[in-house]
Amino acid sequence: MNALRAYAWWLGLALLAPIALPLAVRTRRNALRLPPAAGLLSGVAGADLPGEPLRLLVLGESTVVGVGVDELDAALVGQLATALAARCGHPVAWRACGENGITAAQAHERLLPQVLDQSFDLALLVFGVNDTTHLTSLPRWDAALGGMAEALAARGTRVAFSSVPPLQHFSALPWLLRRLLGMRAGLLDARLRQLAASLGAGHHAVELEFSAEYLARDGYHPSGLGYRVWAQGLAVSLAPAARCAP
């Protein structure tokens, strides 16, 4: 079924290419480009709490480096660490390793080697937007994420995946691109669910409204409110993997 959906998507793209490709070029040219958030790429949330800290790695694309907000503490990694510390009752020592515009295959080559010298209890992999817009093939997507997950798991790290964001709700994109890329994101996320199940890893939905207040001014990345709500939802679903009491 997934293979048929993927074939149908490529067929639709081929038919719509005379309209979609110039639209994509114009949208990219006119897009508002925001910088990564300022701040250290590691820290401790809940430092005054008792117990050994949970060692958390968040690895991925622009949301990992906080594009859309000014400070990393207000971005996904800072908000997730804070929410996990509050829920679990012990400190969370976090590290963010990300790059704006990176795909999963590029991260496997460039980012993964940067973190393999450090031990983590839990790693959250956050990818999908760039692989959607770069039209990454499903086998390449699967191989890159699987390779990163297996390398981390081999070092005793529990691995979890954040789902591919629904690009059909990104207000920066024109309607046709939202439809095409939203469908493509759905195909990548279906493949990601299968990969997570095969690895015994978690697959955690991006539970976020995509109205204006939840998006940054570029209409593409989360706002401070968006990151906070996303992180709070992740903290709930990640609690078992993060040694939180029920």
Asked if residue 4 is part of any domain, the answer here is no
Rounded average pLDDT over 32-44: 92
Domain interval for residue 94: 40-238
Cα–Cα dist 57/80, whole Å: 11
pLDDT tens, 56-85? 999 999 999 999 999 999 999 999 999 999
Q: Is the pLDDT of residue 232 over 80?
A: yes
Please tell me the least confidently modeled range out of 2-6, 18-22, 210-214: 2-6
Asked if residue 186 is part of any domain, the answer here is yes
CATH label of the domain that carries residue 108? 3.40.50.1110
pTM of the shown model: 0.93
What confidence score (pLDDT) does residue 207 get? 80
Burial of 60: CB neighbours in 10 Å, binned 0-12, 13-18, 19+: buried
How confident is the prediction for the chain on average, in pLDDT?
91
pLDDT tens, 104-159? 999 999 999 999 999 999 999 999 999 999 999 999 999 999 999 999 999 999 99
Q: Is the pLDDT of residue 54 over 80?
A: yes
Q: Strand pairing partners for 56?
A: 94, 122
What confidence score (pLDDT) does residue 18 get? 83
Asked if residue 183 is part of any domain, the answer here is yes
Q: Which residues, at least 6 apart from 205, have a Cβ–Cβ distance to it below 8 Å? A: 163, 233, 237
As for how many domains the chain has, the answer is: 1
Q: Is the pLDDT of residue 30 over 90?
A: no
Asked if residue 194 is part of any domain, the answer here is yes
Q: Indicate the helix (H) or strand (E) that contains 54.
A: strand 54-60
Asked if residue 24 is part of any domain, the answer here is no
